[in-house]
Chains A and B, each alone.
Chain A
Amino acid sequence: GAGVSQTPSNKVTEKGKYVELRCDPISGHTALYWYRQSLGQGPEFLIYFQGTGAADDSGLPNDRFFAVRPEGSVSTLKIQRTERGDSAVYLCASSLDGGPSTYEQYFGPGTRLTVT
C-alpha cells in the first residue's frame, strides 16, 4: 500500500515569506508526527497529533510555526515569516494508533525547505 507522502519535495522561498508543507499519512493511521532535520543532525521532534488534536507540540521552536490536522488525516505544517535558520528537511511520520502496541513510525521522504 501507499506510504507516507509529503509535498512538495523541495521548496525554495525568500526570507520573510509564508510556506505550507503537506503530509499525507498512511490510511488508517491515527497518529501523525512532524520532525525537522537540519544538516548533519538527527531528526528533531516538532509536534505529535492523535486524531485531529495536537497531543504534544513542545518541539515547535516558536510561534511562527503552526500545524493542523483538521480531519484527522492530512496535516499541514505552516511557517510564517520564514528565516534562513528554518532551512532544513521537514519529515512527517505516521503510526497506527500512537499506543504501545507497535511504537513503529513510518516516515515520509521529507520536504527540503531552503530559505534564501
Chain B
Amino acid sequence: AQSVTQLDSQVPVFEEAPVELRCNYSSSVSVYLFWYVQYPNQGLQLLLKYLSGSTLVKGINGFEAEFNKSQTSFHLRKPSVHISDTAEYFCAVIYSGGYQKVTFGIGTKLQVIP
C-alpha cells in the first residue's frame, strides 16, 4: 500500500536553531510531493511542492525541502526557526495516476522554544 511516513511526531527546537522534519514515502511510481502547515485553529496551508525539475525546492517562510528519489525522502528544513513557526507540519504525496488524491502523513508538531 502507498504510504507516507513522518518519523517524528513532535520536534522541540530552540528559537533561531535549525530544524529538519523528516518524511519518507513508499512508491514504485512517479510522485508529486508537498509540505503543508497547520497553525493552531487554522486550515492547512501549502508550504512548498515538488512536481519536477530541481530537487531542491523553496517555499514560504524560509522553508525548503529536497526530493531524494533513491531514498524516497522529502525532508523539510529551515536554517533558523522563529516562535511563529510553531505549528503542525504534514508531508503529502500525490501518486502518478492517482488523479489528485493526496495521501498525508500523520504530521509533525514543531514546538519552537524561546
A interface residues (Cβ-Cβ under 8 A, vs B): 3-4, 31, 33, 35, 40-45, 48, 50, 55-56, 58-59, 91, 93, 95, 98, 100, 103-110
Contacts and interface: CB of A to CB of B under 8 A. Distances in A.
B101 A104 contact: no
A40 B100 contact: no
A105 B102 contact: yes
A104 B34 CA distance: 9
A104 B49 contact: yes
26 contacts: A3-B43, A4-B43, A33-B100, A33-B101, A35-B102, A35-B104, A41-B106, A42-B90, A42-B104, A42-B106, A42-B107, A43-B44, A45-B101, A48-B101, A50-B99, A59-B101, A100-B51, A103-B32, A103-B49, A103-B94, A104-B49, A105-B46, A105-B102, A106-B46, A107-B36, A110-B43
Contacts of B32: 100, 103
Given A43-B90, A91-B44, A33 B51 contact: no
A8 to B, nearest CB: 15
Where chain B touches its partner, the secondary structure class is strand
Contacts of B90: 42-43
Interface in B1-47: 4, 32, 34, 36, 42-46
